[in-house]
């Protein structure tokens, strides 16, 4: 279970092996709907407005930009999941949908779920030392373990965590980065399945591109009023926008 999956075929085989015909929801950290060649998605702009002060904004997802970063593989995965009977939908339907997948964004999700002022600095960036990243990974692991006390509870993750992340550099550390983000995506799927838009927000639309992320009252106050591109039904102390 510690091994990284390779191509889409391995991903699909893994899903089929561990899920089979049962109900499942999958959260994917990648743009799944990118309708415009050079124009950004409305949902991305609002995500950056809400999460930008916490350093969790997003780069605009355009077809021109995505073409440089393996977009075909992402969209092939969308197609192949559909062939396996998974419905692509940013709105959760646990009562009627047996198999579903959606797009999410772990950086924004971590800010909301863990109530962070700023993102954890575990990503590779110019000038960011290994010591800084290792310390951030330790914080990330602590927050992931803390999900065992949340609703839904998320336990038994220790087998996926490296007891000595400081042994990792380069590609090995990037693989661990991807692993922790994948663990968080799995929790986001369970969280959205449980709470829907009472505790998560949809930024954007299925047709124009979107991101689903957990939300909290502090961040929800940054949602622009009367936006047709935000769906969130939680208590905010501020305006609740509906798509």
Q: Beta strand 87-88 with 99-103: parallel, antiparallel or unpaired?
A: parallel
- Indicate whether 15 belongs to any domain: no
- Indicate whether 8 belongs to any domain: no
- Indicate whether 193 belongs to any domain: yes
- Indicate whether 179 belongs to any domain: yes
Percentage helix, strand, coil for the chain under 3-state DSSP, each rounded to 5? 45, 10, 45
Which residues constitute the domain of residue 96?
22-231
User: Where would I find the H helices in the chain?
Assistant: 8-19, 42-51, 63-66, 71-83, 106-113, 130-146, 170-195, 217-220
Number of independent structural domains in the chain: 1
pLDDT in tens, the chain (243 residues): 445 667 889 999 999 999 988 889 999 999 999 999 999 999 999 999 999 999 999 988 999 888 776 788 898 999 999 999 999 999 987 676 679 999 999 999 999 999 999 999 999 999 999 999 999 999 999 999 999 999 999 988 999 999 999 999 999 999 999 999 999 999 999 999 999 999 999 999 999 999 999 999 999 999 998 899 999 998 543 333 333
- Indicate whether 10 belongs to any domain: no
């Amino acid at each position: 279970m510690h091994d990284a999956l390779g191509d889409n075929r391995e991903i699909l085989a893994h899903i089929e092996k561990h899920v089979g015909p049962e109900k499942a929801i999958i959260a994917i950290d990648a743009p799944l709907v990118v309708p415009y060649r050079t124009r950004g998605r409305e949902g991305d702009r609002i995500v950056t407005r809400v999460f930008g002060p916490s350093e969790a904004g997003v780069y605009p997802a355009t077809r021109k930009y995505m073409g440089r970063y393996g977009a075909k593989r992402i969209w092939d995965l969308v197609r192949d999941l559909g062939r396996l009977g998974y419905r692509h939908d940013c709105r959760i339907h646990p009562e009627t949908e047996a198999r579903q997948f959606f797009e999410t964004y772990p950086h924004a999700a971590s800010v909301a779920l863990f109530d962070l002022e700023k993102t954890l600095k575990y990503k590779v960036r110019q000038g960011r030392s290994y010591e800084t990243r290792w310390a951030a990974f330790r914080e990330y692991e602590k927050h992931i373990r803390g999900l065992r006390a949340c609703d839904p509870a998320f336990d038994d993750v220790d087998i996926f965590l490296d007891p000595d992340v400081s042994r990792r550099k380069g590609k090995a550390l990037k693989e661990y980065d991807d692993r922790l983000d994948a663990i968080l995506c799995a929790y986001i799927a369970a969280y959205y399945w449980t709470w829907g838009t009472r505790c998560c927000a949809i930024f954007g639309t299925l047709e124009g591109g979107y991101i689903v992320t957990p939300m909290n009252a502090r961040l929800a106050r940054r949602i622009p009023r009367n936006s047709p591109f935000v769906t969130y039904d939680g208590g905010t102390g501020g305006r609740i926008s509906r798509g």
